[in-house]
Structure 1
Amino acid sequence: MSNNHVAYEFVSCAKLPTRFGEFTIHGFVETASQQEHVALSYGEWQTGDVVPIRIHSECLTGDALFSTRCDCGFQLEKALANIVEEGHGVILYLRQEGRGIGLLNKIKAYNLQDTGLDTVEANEHLGFDADLRDYSICKLMLDTLNVQKVQLMTNNPKKLNALEAMGINVVERKAIDHGVTDDNKHYLMTKTSKLGHVFNLEKLK
């Protein structure tokens, strides 16, 4: 099956108990690249219901190693908690580390940031665009889960625009200004000024 030029395969699903609640994990693979992605669903919904979702790009350092250099892990936890509080929802967890440059290149970019470059300058110094992420598979994942209307938890308008371009009805964007630390304030200001993210700048003062 293919859509938006992305061939994919739904692999399987299983229960995934977490400290937030019991989710179901759904496995997908892009058949050309064999890149694996997962969706976490919670609760039930009917066709046409507005479903809270977050598109979350993998961040090993933030999600699993508790780094405070970014807000990724904090946002993932907040999104999981929000979904459980709402009673239903979906996390689309995309395996595109470092805004698409990969884990080891992200470490190289961190090294450059330690010398004074910002997150955009570091990626560009390594020969990459500031953001290489591709959201094409999200439509396929949401179709599989019978989601047509969403409340999107994000500070990144590009995610909203990508979903709307694929025919997903984004009823509302819900800010997720969560996880500001002394270590990531400059990073968040750069995402706001250079990457177009919408953030409550008062939290960065």
Structure 2
Amino acid sequence: MNRALLEKPFEPSQIKQRQGNFGHILDYVEGHVVTSRLNEAFDGNWSFEVVKYRILKDTDEVLVLGKLTAEGVTKMAFGSKEIERTKDTKAIFSLGDDLKAASTDALKKAASLLGVGLYLYSDQRPNGKTEEGRPETPNKGASTGNEKNQPGPKDEPATGDGNGGRLTNKQLAMIFGVGKSKGLQTKDIKDKALATFKKNLNFLTKEEASTFINALQSM
């Protein structure tokens, strides 16, 4: 597997920006850019399928579980999309388009587990700037090698079985289940995870997920 190509930073012209939570500006790439990178890295020999999907009526969004397979390696990730409705009648514009967008979200997240655009989920950037554009200040005594240009250990989802590994699908489902039993909406749960751990809910470790579940249960 060509990790160097998978993890290669995107061209500035390929990176878009959008408003995130708490006023943060988030960098992202569009689905076709990720698809092109996968085609380049695997010469088209990869596949993606939607394992299952759900329509969440309480949060009015679609949730998709996607599976990306390449060179015998499989990565799975959830993608979501708020259902778009008309302002007057609240009728759904196109559920098919919403499912397509959620599937693209799942593909991008699964691809990030192979290293594609993973640095975009981190505070660090290859140009030496933080997510908010401030120059990085190396920690005293830290190495000054090229490792600062790579995603830090806390940002890259691990694949091991220890506490440092990425949260399981069962833990993710439990987080949403417990959160909703406490009256929280999906957005509230995601925002709470981001505020607590400074990272996207899908990138929590198993240990962090357990801590988060306990915190939700004690609410």
What is the TM-score normalised by the length of structure 1? Answer: 0.27
Structure showing greater relative contact order (alpha-carbon pairs closer than 8 Å, 6 or more residues apart)? 1
What is the TM-score normalised by the length of structure 2? Answer: 0.26
Which structure has the bigger radius of gyration?
2
